[in-house]
Amino acid sequence: MQKFDYRVPRFSVDLPVQITVDKSTLAGRCIEISKQGMRLELLQPLPPGTCGIASITYQDKTLELNVRVAHARETDGGMEFIYKSEKERSAVAHLVAALATPRNRLGPVLLN
Domain that residue 17 falls in: 11-102
HEC assignment per residue over 75-109: CEEEEEEECCCHHHHHHHHHHHHHHHCHHHCCCCC
Q: Is residue 4 part of a domain?
A: no
Write out the DSSP string of 54-74: EEEEETTEEEEEEEEEEEE-S
Q: Is residue 93 part of a domain?
A: yes
Query: Per residue in 69-99, pLDDT tens?
Result: 999 988 889 999 999 999 999 999 999 999 8
Residue 57: give its domain's CATH number: 2.40.10.220
Q: Is residue 107 part of a domain?
A: no
Count: domains in the chain: 1
Query: Per residue in 3-38, pLDDT tens?
Result: 656 667 888 999 999 999 999 999 999 999 999 999
Strand ranges, E, within 9-60 = 11-21, 24-33, 37-42, 51-58
Query: Per residue in 31-68, pLDDT tens?
Result: 999 999 999 999 888 999 999 999 999 988 899 999 99
Q: Is residue 18 part of a domain?
A: yes
71 DSSP β-pair partners: 78
Q: Is residue 20 part of a domain?
A: yes
